[in-house]
Amino acid sequence: MTFNEVLSQTIAMLQQHGRVSYRALKRQFALDDPFLDDRQYEIITVQQRAAPPLPAPAPAAPCRQALALAEALGMRPLQARCHHGLGTLYATVGQREQARVALTTALAMYRAMEMPFWLPQTEAALAQVAGR
């Protein structure tokens, strides 16, 4: 079996199962450790490209909970940081409009509280979301 045939079948396994271990590859194709060691980079690259994208992460829920708690306690600096974190998270998962709203809110809060330390980071993140 050629390496390209192994890769084609590995891609099919990845698409079916979402992930494939070295042990499964060894069993499926009767491969030895030196072969896998020599091809480790190619196999990892194929796995990264063939695996379906992961669903959007759920960390927004804990961030929103922290924001609600900070609001209830009147902790405005923490509220601003929560908005900043949510904006960064939304930008990471491609939710540009939500990212823009959260980062704009954080920026306004930092300015109102005269917290210049966070302004450059937040402005840069907002500019990146806006595509500037």
How do residues 71-84 score in pLDDT, each as one tens digit?
A: 999 999 999 999 99
Domain residue limits, the chain: 3-50, 60-130
How do residues 115-128 score in pLDDT, each as one tens digit?
A: 999 999 999 999 99
Tell me the average pLDDT of the chain: 81
pTM of the entire predicted model? 0.57
Which DSSP string corresponds to 23-68? HHHHHHHT--HHHHHHTHHHHHHHHHHHSPPPPPPSTHHHHHHHHH
